[in-house]
Structure 1
Amino acid sequence: MTVRVVVVDDSALVRSVLTEVINRSPDLRVVGCAADPFEAREVIRELNPDVITLDVEMPRMDGLAFLERLMRLRPIPVVMVSTLTQRGAETTLPALELGAVDFVAKPTFNVKSGLDELAR
């Protein structure tokens, strides 16, 4: 069974790289992307993914506010992917308390090589 993933991040580069990295796994498939929580809401309704990757800092609504609403209305596994979510970071514990199942720190230097490292 293939796990269907929606990537939510305001950076087009990060969406593209995450999609490439996730799709390398034979068990995972990115079925949609969104640049902010408002787009994400529609993509999630339309595509019914199994998992969402979610950035924290985005325009119009931050990832934590969206996570809280999402868990209340349509609980789904969410992996936080952000420079703000790393072990010991201020944002990590609230994200996990709101329902995120895990977190991955975005590299702050070279996004592509950092995400390649995460894929290994």
Structure 2
Amino acid sequence: MDKIKVLVVDDSAFMRKMISDMINSQPDMEVLDTARDGLDAIKKINSLNPDVITLDVEMPNKNGLEVLREIKDSNVAVIMLSSLTSEGSSTTIEALRLGAFDFIQKPSGSISLDIDKVKEDLVEKIRYAKAHLRKKLKREKGY
């Protein structure tokens, strides 16, 4: 079985490390790489072709919403992982409108020392996102 290939995008090196460790601890997932901002993310999305991206909203150069606008036609599932993406917020609604698959709110702000609280939710949503992507691609190919 192929592993789910994930790109982790966050401007905090600590958050990139914590999120990557959570994902890499799963036998069916692997972090291909990380990106520190939106510009770095766009380059890596195009070169690495990940299945799923975890994407922060607030970042330098290009923010998460700008990245979503730019990749909206690519075959990648995006999970917003941010202190701004609480259910019902305008940022969350805009992210979903732009094609994000789902969102997870960081438990305690942009540098969440307790990010491990969302591990179960994160890995579950990555699996759902990959399954959704598979179905979408099959529909597009007429299977």
With normalisation by structure 2, the TM-score equals: 0.77
Q: Which runs of 5+ in 2 are unaligned?
A: 121-143
1:119 aligned residue: 119
Q: Deviations over 1:42-66 (max 9, x none)?
A: 2112211111111000111111011
Native 8 Å contact 1:84 1:90 kept in 2:
no
Q: How many residues align?
A: 118
In the alignment, structure 1 residue 49 sits paired with structure 2 residue 79 = no
1:98 aligned residue: 98
2:139 aligned residue: none
Q: Deviations over 1:58-77 (max 9, x none)?
A: 111111011011104x2410
Offset, 1:88: 1.9
Alpha-carbon distance in 2 for matches of 1:64, 1:103: 13
Q: Which amino acid counterpart does residue 93 of structure 1 have in structure 2?
A: I
Q: Which runs of 5+ in 1 are unaligned?
A: none
As a proportion of its length, which structure holds more helix? 2
- Which of the pair has more CA radius of gyration? 2
Overall identity of the aligned pairs, in %: 43
Q: Which amino acid counterpart does residue 69 of structure 1 have in structure 2?
A: E
2:88 aligned residue: 88
Alpha-carbon distance in 1 for matches of 2:106, 2:65: 16
Q: Secondary structure at the match of 2:95?
A: helix
1:40 aligned residue: 41
1:14 aligned residue: 15
2:60 aligned residue: 59
Q: Secondary structure at the match of 2:72?
A: helix
Alpha-carbon distance in 2 for matches of 1:54, 1:118: 15
Alpha-carbon distance in 2 for matches of 1:62, 1:12: 16
With normalisation by structure 1, the TM-score equals: 0.91
Q: Secondary structure at the match of 1:91?
A: helix
Q: Deviations over 1:53-110 (max 9, x none)?
A: 11000111111011011104x2410000000001122211110010000001012267
Q: 1:112 to 1:20 in 2, by over 3 A?
A: farther
Alpha-carbon distance in 1 for matches of 2:75, 2:90: 23
Alpha-carbon distance in 2 for matches of 1:5, 1:75: 13
2:78 aligned residue: 78
Alpha-carbon distance in 2 for matches of 1:47, 1:75: 12
Q: Secondary structure at the match of 1:116?
A: helix
